[in-house]
Structure 1
């Protein structure tokens, strides 16, 4: 599935509205001057409003699908159309806004 590559600082939210950020950006590939993100990099989620008695809040997330044809150091990169799962809630992350210039599949 083609999509825009995701850079550090992209607008990424959990299903409840918490802001997600990568913990290990990839400075080897820059996207609009910002580091890209490899698929294996863990993400932290801050500001998830889901209360603990409802199974929340979202704390971390990991991507399970990303680029296939474009890699950095042999590792796939995070795509806007990729899929990720938050822990402990199991809800997805959504990339609302990523850089528009570099697309991959």
Structure 2
């Protein structure tokens, strides 16, 4: 039986979709932005970078820093609180997202 390249490509696409659906949420490629009531400030120093998240929301916010190299752990910042994360300057900053 001959399989055309279109059928083979469709099978690979379906298999890839099924494979991604089975991954845990932390490994997913979608990233959510922090709510507008949470302020994110990114600063770069001589040897390091820092992100400070100030939570002005009435609820807690879970967030992480997406950067070159390993991403940060998931932080939880309660309402009315702030928290920061610092890393070496060489690792490029891609953004701060919910986890």
Please give the TM-score of this superposition, normalised by the length of structure 2.
0.24
Instruction: Pick 1 or 2: higher relative contact order, CA cutoff 8 A, min separation 6.
Output: 1
The structure where helix makes up a greater share of residues is 2
Please give the TM-score of this superposition, normalised by the length of structure 1.
0.23
Larger Rg: 2
